[in-house]
Amino acid sequence: MKILGVDPGIERLGWGLLEKTPQGIKYLSSGVKKTSKNEKESQRLLEIFKFLSNLIKKEGPDVLATEKLFFAKNVKTALVIGEVRGVILTVGALHSLAIREFTPLEAKLAVCGYGRATKESIANMVRLQLNLPKKRYLDDETDAMSLALAAAVIRVFP
């Protein structure tokens, strides 16, 4: 089963693709899709839509895992992230993917065993669990991989 984790952001959208097999969870690929501040928001959202749609067509994931927005200090940021989440969920539904949503606390618990883990702790646990090469990953990328990991380890009952 392939799982695509997506960390919503309009400036930087993190993504990580993992595969869950009987032998374990394997890292396939990851990255960050950046959009330009000079573009209109509608163009940036369309760019994200096209990017995710192409990624899904190319990689063929079975599950899309993303973050639930439950609180934001900045209302404007919350609204924009909500719009990006709408794009992510729409693309997932368009491609008939199973969609799993996690709060940051749920993802941190799944990856680190502690819901208040720091970004650094999450990145370290993601590196350890996926046996990632020693390179610098942006927070958005490791957050996306942690969402995919959460989808891989948390069982869902119908």
Residue 158 inside a domain? The answer is no
What per-residue string of b and e applies to 3-18 under the rule 16 or more CB within 10 Å gives b?
Answer: bbbbbbbbeebbbbbb
Range of the domain at 123: 2-153
Per-residue pLDDT reduced to its tens digit, 113-141: 998 899 899 999 999 999 998 888 899 99
Residue of 47, 101, 106, 140 with catalytic role: 140
Give dist(CA 10, CA 48) in Å, integer: 8
Residue 76 inside a domain? The answer is yes
Residue 23 inside a domain? The answer is yes
Residue of 47, 67, 141, 143 with catalytic role: 67
Q: Determine whether 41 is an active site residue.
A: no
Per-residue pLDDT reduced to its tens digit, 69-104: 766 677 888 889 999 999 999 999 999 999 999 999
Q: What is the mean pLDDT of residues 65-71?
A: 84
Q: Determine whether 140 is an active site residue.
A: yes
CATH number of 143's domain: 3.30.420.10
Per-residue pLDDT reduced to its tens digit, 31-63: 999 999 999 999 999 999 999 999 999 999 999
Q: Determine whether 139 is an active site residue.
A: no
The number of folded domains in the chain is 1
